[in-house]
Structure 1
Amino acid sequence: MVASIEDVAKRAGVSIATVSRALRGLPDVAPATRDRVLAAATELDYVASPFAARLASGRTTTVGLVVPWVNRWFFAEVIDTVEQALRLAGFDLLLYNLGDKAGRTRFFEVMPMRKRVDGVLIVSLVLEDAEFSALTDLDLPVGLLGLERDGFLSVSIDDVGSARTAVDHLVELGHRRIALIGGDTDDPMAFTPPMHRRDGYRDALRAVGVESDPELEVLGYFTVDGGRAAMRHLLALPDRPSAVFAESDEMAYGALREIHRHGLRVPEDVAVVGFDDQPLSDLLGLTTVRQPVADEALDITNRLLALIADDAENIEHLPRDPAVVLPTELVVRGSTVAGGA
């Protein structure tokens, strides 16, 4: 006779729900209990049927992940981490790439994930009240990565403070004419970092009595080519900057390439700080702000899975710390300090 989940629960001395959570690898099962369930399942040669589990529970064992773009390093890292965490928990990933303003509008009007997912993760989008209302109407657990909102799980970094740390570093080195290569704060996708990191840049300058100069704030659109074009513009100014803060490492890479193309030295002629600490940054000697992208994605995914595992009546009650802010770190290398690590 084929063993059932009820047989496993009886052998392990736990509820059927606990067996389901343990076998899916959800984080809200004590290690000793999980071991007991796994041992019972092994002894009974029990093999869970994902389709039966879905029918029995009324759940899809799928999480919807909503991103503004998929072709940028940050979002690729998030997608990879979330997918791995979900797979370990026995869940599938349903990815929604908004792509542009029209795609965003259509998504929140239609809500194509309705009845297809057990929870939703939103990544780095400044949402309007109507969009939050559309998410609330789904009556599902929702997690936010890169922004906060009362009533929702969230994880983020302090983009304002992190950008200020980067610019403070340049100020401490004696720089005052510091340029910003950033994203478009008027982008209809309302991507969060451009606004927050620009604020941190301006705060750091204001703290030492330097008013921000519009001609030193140039768009780089979070691409290498955009960083090159922005740096080319800055180097053509009658009074070029002595240092640059780029809101992403990609834009910093483009800036470095353009500086070298002009026969200038880094950091002696122009110092450069990036943001992210992508793998290539160490090779290029780029000083940058390291943000724990994988940790952010794993944190919000695990907490969302725990909320999904709760009984339906508990969905409205968030964990003690629904809003988590993870620390960043300034990594100093040769692009700001000659001979740096």
Structure 2
Amino acid sequence: MVSIDEVARQAGVSTATVSRALSGRGHVSDSTKARVEAAAKSLGYVVSASASSLASGRRRNIGVLVPFLDRWFFSTVLSGIASALMRRGYDITLYSLTADRAERRDVFDTFLRRQRVDGVIAISIEIGDEESQQLLALDLPVIAIGGPNPRLTTLTVDDVAVARLATEHLLALGHREIAHIGASPEFDIDFHIPTHRRRGFELALADAGIEVKPSLFEPADFTIEGGFRAAKQLLGKPGGRPTAIFAASDEMAIGALLAARELGYRVPEDLSVVGIDGHELGEFFRLTTVDQFPKGQGERAADAILAELEATNAAPPVHQPGELPYELIVRGSTARLPG
């Protein structure tokens, strides 16, 4: 195994200079740093994580709490976190935090207290008062995506405003019979995002003087299959049919597009469809969406936690919420109401 001494000899510097150059701690000129990195690469030298931890008091590892690993949104946020941390030489440890109380207790009472991480990021998980206190007791930086949580630093998207923007886009195109695919109660957990999106939808209709019709709401499970089934129910009912559908996620909106085509509806001539998220398949399906930049959310959370770790002042961080951006992306699934 290659030692730091061999790297120092090849680069023509001291071992202390090699340590500073590869760890990023302490001043080293750009030319010296480049020479050390070239020597380390040619010799196949990798900094020992345990040695680096002993020297710096850091483990260069961030714990990430995530409720689902098999859902596109969460995996995309996680991808953003991982990319940003890897660029800065940090690893991640994943903790699956389900609704199961025993599993959650294990994570907060045991795993996070083993002191194997330098900070914690929670992705769209509602953390209660007791769990928040346990996190704060670790004396580590904590960033929560999806808040609000007055006790933690949070990054949030205004889901009411996001849904209003999507609905107002359909209203501006002349649509009045607008259906909404939302969520069943069992999926309305952790910050009640589906409820907020339904509220934004209903507020936009009310502002336009349009009555909210229960018959134009259909619950689903935030999947393509769920959106497909819900849209079939909405479009297959006898009587008046909607001219537009607002789905609370892009995956459900894609399901609605597929259902419309199977039933013989032309999109957007007969039916306009809009979703929320910024799904990677949205461009392929020409889906109009409100992009909430999930990968960017992850990158911003990683940058925020590293900024707290690298802050030079000893003062505790001020837990001010940060608003995450969103943007209406108009594609080919929406159009002005004919006539």
The TM-score with structure 2 as length reference comes to 0.83
Give the secondary-structure state (helix, strand or coil) at the position aligned to 1:143. strand
CA deviation vs aligned residue, 1:127-154 (integer Å, no higher than 9, x gap): 3222222222222110111223335333
Aligned in 2, Cα 1:212/1:204: closer, same or farther, shift over 3 Å?
Answer: same
The offset of 1:323, in angstroms, is 2.7
Is there any run of 5+ residues in structure 1 with no aligned partner, and where? 24-28
Q: Is the 8 A contact 1:277 1:288 kept in 2?
A: yes
The offset of 1:189, in angstroms, is 4.2
CA deviation vs aligned residue, 1:188-223 (integer Å, no higher than 9, x gap): 742553132222112111111224333322222110
Matching residue of 1:242: 243
Whole-Å Cα distance in 1 between the matches of residues 29 and 122 of structure 2?
A: 30
Matching residue of 2:70: 71
Q: What amino acid is the match of 2:165?
A: T
Matching residue of 2:82: 83
Which of 10, 14, 24 is equivalent to 1:22? 24
Whole-Å Cα distance in 2 between the matches of residues 124 and 37 of structure 1?
A: 43
Give the secondary-structure state (helix, strand or coil) at the position aligned to 1:2. helix
Give the secondary-structure state (helix, strand or coil) at the position aligned to 1:181. strand
Whole-Å Cα distance in 1 between the matches of residues 47 and 247 of structure 2?
A: 50
Matching residue of 2:92: 93
Matching residue of 1:330: 328
Aligned in 2, Cα 1:184/1:112: closer, same or farther, shift over 3 Å?
Answer: farther
The offset of 1:314, in angstroms, is 2.6
Whole-Å Cα distance in 2 between the matches of residues 3 and 120 of structure 1?
A: 36
The offset of 1:169, in angstroms, is 0.7
Once the two structures are overlaid, the 10-residue window that deviates more, 65-74 or 148-157, is 148-157
The offset of 1:157, in angstroms, is 2.6
Whole-Å Cα distance in 1 between the matches of residues 299 and 309 of structure 2?
A: 15
Matching residue of 1:60: 59
Whole-Å Cα distance in 2 between the matches of residues 62 and 221 of structure 1?
A: 34
Q: Is the 8 A contact 1:147 1:192 kept in 2?
A: no
- Identity of matched residues, %: 37
Matching residue of 2:33: 38
Matching residue of 1:210: 210
Point out 4+ residue stretches in structure 1 off by more than 6 angstroms: 3-6, 43-47
Aligned in 2, Cα 1:257/1:4: closer, same or farther, shift over 3 Å?
Answer: closer
**1:309 aligned to 2:310?**
yes
The offset of 1:107, in angstroms, is 4.7
Q: Is the 8 A contact 2:49 2:59 kept in 1?
A: no
Is there any run of 5+ residues in structure 2 with no aligned partner, and where? none
The offset of 1:2, in angstroms, is 2.1
Whole-Å Cα distance in 2 between the matches of residues 286 and 327 of structure 1?
A: 19
Whole-Å Cα distance in 2 between the matches of residues 158 and 188 of structure 1?
A: 16
Aligned in 2, Cα 1:281/1:39: closer, same or farther, shift over 3 Å?
Answer: closer
The offset of 1:184, in angstroms, is 3.7
The offset of 1:304, in angstroms, is 0.2
Q: What amino acid is the match of 2:33?
A: L
Q: Root-mean-square deviation (CA), in Å?
A: 3.1
Q: Counterparts in 2 of 1:111-122, with a 5 A limit?
A: 111-114=110-113, 115-122=115-122
**1:253 aligned to 2:254?**
yes
Q: How many residues align?
A: 323
Aligned in 2, Cα 1:149/1:20: closer, same or farther, shift over 3 Å?
Answer: farther
Whole-Å Cα distance in 2 between the matches of residues 186 and 67 of structure 1?
A: 18
Give the secondary-structure state (helix, strand or coil) at the position aligned to 1:282. coil
Give the secondary-structure state (helix, strand or coil) at the position aligned to 1:85. helix
**1:156 aligned to 2:159?**
no
Q: Is the 8 A contact 2:278 2:293 kept in 1?
A: no
